[in-house]
Chains A and B, each alone.
Chain A
Amino acid sequence: MTAVADSKLHDCRDAFAETLESLAEADSRVVAVVNDSIGSSKLGGFAQRFPERLVNVGIAEQNLVGVAAGLANGGKVPFVSAASCFLTARALEQIKVDLAYSNANVKLCGMSPGVAYGQLGATHHSIEDVAWLRAIAHMTIIVPADSAETGQALRAAAEHDGPVFVRVSRLPVPDVNAPGYRFQLGRAVRLKEGADITLVANGTMTARALEAAALLEADGIDARVVSMPTVKPLDTDEIAAAAAETRGIVTVEEHTIRGGLGSAVAEQVVVTQPVPMRILGIPDVFAPTGTAEWLLDHFGLNAAGIRGAAVALLEGRSG
C-alpha cells in the first residue's frame, strides 16, 4: 500500500485530453462538444489539432446535449465535455430523452465531479450526478480511479454503442491499478484480497480505500479492496462474492450517500445476501466552504474515516 501513497499524483483530465486526441486521430467520426469548457477540459491541444471537429455551443447545456444527439444522428461520435454539475443537472432531460431513450451514441465526460471545485461551493459540486444518471434506463456510468483507468474508460466508451457517462476528476490521484491493467466495462477489480471485510470504492476514493486497508492490517483486520469503476451496469458477481466471503461491505464514493455506488451495492445485497453495510460519501447535506481536500477530510472520506467505519461495522456498532 505504501506504493500507492508514494506514487506520483496525476490530474485525470490530462489522460482524458490525451486519449481523446488519440481517438480523434484514429477515427474521423470522433468530435468534441463543449460549453465554453475548452480550458477546464484541457482540450486546448484538441482544439489546435482538430479545430473543425470541436463544436463549442457556448454556455448552453440543453443545446450542448441536444446538438450532440444530432451529431450522433449525423454519424459522428461526440464526446461532450463539460463541468459535471452543469452537464448533468442542466441537461438532465436531454440526457434521458435525446441520449438514453433514443440510444444515441454520445459520450458524456463530466469534468471535475464530486467536491472537486471545493471552495467554489455547493452550486459547483457535482455530488448527485451518478444518482441522477443511474436512475435512467440504458445509461452506462464509469467513475475511473486513476489516470490510466480514465484513458481506458474513454476507449471503452468509444467502443460501446450507446450513451456513456464518464466522470473525469481534476483532483490529483495516484495510480492504483497495476501496470498493464486492462479496464473492462462492467467489471470490478480486486485490488487487494481480504477475508474479514470488503471495501468497495471508485474514483478518488479508491486510493483512500487502499490506504485504509493498510491501517486495518495494522489493526489485525484483513480487508479486501474492490475497485468498482463501472457503477452501471454493476459487477454483481464481485458484490455477491464480497457478501458471501467477508463479514460486511463498506462503500466509499465522492458523491452523496443517496443513490450512488453505495445505493447500487445495497440494492443488490439487500435482496440477495444481506450483510452489514456502511455507505460512506457526502452525507445528505450541501457542503460548507472549504477546499476539496478539506471537505473530504471533513466528511471522513479519508483513510482514517474508512478505517473507523470498517471497525465499527465489524464490532456491530453504528457509525
Chain B
Amino acid sequence: MALPGRIDRSLAREERLARLREAAAAMRRRDLALVNGAGLGHIGGDLSATDIVATLYLAVLDLDPADPAWPERDRFIMSKGHSSGVLYIALASAGFFDPELLESYMQPLSPLNGHPDRKSIPGVEANTGPLGHGLPIAVGTAIAAQMDGATRRTYCLVGDGELQEGSNWEALMAAGHRGLDNLTVIVDRNGLQQGAATEETNRLEPLGDKARAFGWSVVEVDGHDHAALLELFEGVPVEPGKPTFAIAHTHKGRGVSFMEDEVGWHHRVPTQAEVDAGVAELTS
C-alpha cells in the first residue's frame, strides 16, 4: 500500500485539500492493515485522529525529516500515545523513516513499540502512553520557544477521555497564565473512552467553558474537515496572547462504517475480512 507524501505549500489551496483527502484515506487503509498485521492496536482512536494528524504532518508542520532534531522545527506532541499507529504512518508518510518498517509494528525488537519511543523513532517528540503527559511537555516546548523569541509552534493532540487526568489541568492553568499563544491544543473529541462515553464516565462538559476559564481561546472545529483544520492550524493563534484550545469534533473509527462511534473498536483488532471491507469503503 503506497503512502502519501508531504504536500507542497505552494500548490493551490483546492489542490492541497484534494491531496489531503486522498492522503488521509490512504493512511486509514494502511492503518487497518497495520493493526491487523500486529494483532494489536487502537484502531478506533487512530481513525478518529487521522485527519488531524495528516493535516499537521503533511500540510502544516515545519519539519525537516532529514534532520529530525532541527532546533527550529515545529513541535507536535502526540499525547494520546496509544494512537501510535496513525502517528507512525504519518511519520513514514512525511519521510522520517522507510514505510517498510511499518511491517514490524509491535513485533519483537521493533522500534515501533505499541506506544512511541522517541529514542527509537526519528520524529517522535515525546514518549507517551500513560495519559496526561503530553500537554505539560507541550507547555515546556512552548515556553522554550518563547524564551528564545522563536517563531516555532507547538501543537499537542490530546484524547478527550485523557482530560480526566489532573496533570492536564495543571498544564492548562500554566499555559493560560503565561499566555502561550505559540501553543495549540487539539482535543480529539470523539466522545468515547475505552469503556464508555466520556459523559457517562466522568463528565467533561462544558469543556469549552472550562478551557476559557483557564485563559485559553476556544474554537470548535469539525475534526474530519481538512479545509477547516488547515484554516485553523495556519491561522493560530486565534487570539494574540492566548493559547488556542481547539475542540475537534470527531468520530471514533471514522471512515469505516461498522467501526464508527462503536466503543468496542477502541482496541478491537479487525479480521482480514473486516480490513478488506474497510479498505473497500475507503477506496473511491
Contact = CB atoms under 8 A, between A and B. Distances in A.
Contact of B140 (A52, A74, A101, A103): A74
A67 B133 contact: no
Contacts of B130: 93, 97
B210 interface: no
A70 B154 CA distance: 10
Interface size class of B (residues with CB under 8 A): 20 to 34
B133 A63 contact: no
A31 B71 CA distance: 17
A103 B137 CA distance: 14
B127 A66 contact: no
A73 B126 CA distance: 8
Contact of B147 (A53, A67, A94): A53
B141 interface: yes
Interface in A65-118: 65-76, 93-94, 97-98, 101-103
Interface residues of A, number: 28
B142 interface: yes
A12 interface: no
A67 B127 CA distance: 14
A74 B144 contact: yes
A58 interface: yes
B174 A63 contact: yes
Interface string B100-140: 00000000000000000111000001111110110111111
Given A69-B140, A73-B137, A74-B141, A60 B71 contact: no
Given A66-B167, A73-B126, A102-B119, A31 B139 contact: no
Given A69-B126, A98-B127, A101-B117, A60 B143 contact: no
Contacts of B118: 102
A286 to B, nearest CB: 25
B54 interface: no
A62 B166 contact: yes
Contacts of A69: 126, 136-137, 140
B137 A70 contact: yes
A63 B166 CA distance: 10
Interface in A8-24: none
B75 interface: yes
A63 B141 CA distance: 13
Contact of B125 (A52, A58, A62, A73): A73
Nearest to B147: A52
Interface centre among B118, B129, B130, B143 (most CB of A within 10 A): B143
A65 B133 CA distance: 10
A77 to B, nearest CB: 11
Contacts of A93: 130, 133
Contacts of B174: 57-58, 60, 63, 67
B147 A63 contact: no
A73 B141 contact: yes
Nearest to A66: B136
A138 to B, nearest CB: 10
Contacts of B125: 73
B171 interface: yes
A69 B119 CA distance: 14
A262 B143 CA distance: 40
Given A58-B174, A63-B170, A66-B139, A75 B126 contact: no
A66 B167 CA distance: 9
B141 A70 contact: yes
Contacts of A67: 136-137, 139-140, 143, 171, 174
Interface of B: 71, 75, 77, 117-119, 125-130, 132-133, 135-145, 147-148, 166-167, 170-171, 173-174, 177
Interface of A: 31, 52-53, 55, 57-58, 60, 62-63, 65-76, 93-94, 97-98, 101-103
Given A70-B140, A71-B144, A74-B144, 13 more contacts: A52-B147, A58-B173, A62-B132, A63-B136, A65-B136, A66-B136, A66-B137, A66-B140, A70-B136, A70-B139, A74-B141, A94-B133, A98-B133
12 contacts: A63-B139, A67-B140, A67-B171, A69-B126, A70-B139, A70-B143, A74-B144, A75-B148, A76-B147, A93-B130, A97-B129, A98-B137
Of all A-B residue pairs in the complex, the 9 with the closest CB atoms, nearest first, are A70-B140, A74-B144, A66-B136, A63-B170, A60-B170, A62-B167, A67-B140, A70-B137, A70-B141
